[in-house]
Amino acid sequence: MIIVVTRSSIVSKAVVKAADQLGLSDDELARILGLTPARSLFTKAVAGSVSESAKSKDRALLLIRIFRLLDTVSAGSAETMRQWMQNDNLALGCKPRNLVVTEDGLSRVFDYLNGRVKTPLH
């Protein structure tokens, strides 16, 4: 038996795991990826479906990067990551989970976290 693993299936699995660790719902994941909620459920059931559009894949990769940055600053604590996503953030002006569902908001959250990780915290 030959098993074919594609980059798209890896991205699909990783974005589903990232969304779960960040405490995002299926509907929120669908909005982030620009998919309908029903399509998001399909994404969870069948890995590889993120590949349908470049925009969807770009958004998926950005959410995965956000997860990796939060994983770094939270020492891998899923609970800390979820709390960060659900709490108001003064620098961002609202809850990060409310921002990531839009394309601009997803980029803002990434830029904010990327700056925080590169700047030593004292």
CA atoms within a 13 Å half-sphere pointing along the CA-CB vector of 54: 0
Percentages helix, strand, coil for the chain (3-state, rounded to 5) are 70, 0, 30
User: In the structure, what pLDDT confidence band is assigned to residue 94 with cuts at 50, 70 and 90?
Assistant: very high
In a domain, 2, yes or no: no
- The separation between the first and the last C-alpha atoms of the chain, rounded to the nearest angstrom, is 54
In a domain, 1, yes or no: no
Can you give the pTM of this predicted structure?
A: 0.82
Residue 102 pLDDT = 93
In a domain, 51, yes or no: yes
User: Residue 26's domain spans which residues?
Assistant: 7-118
| Number of independent structural domains in the chain | 1
Residue 101 pLDDT = 95
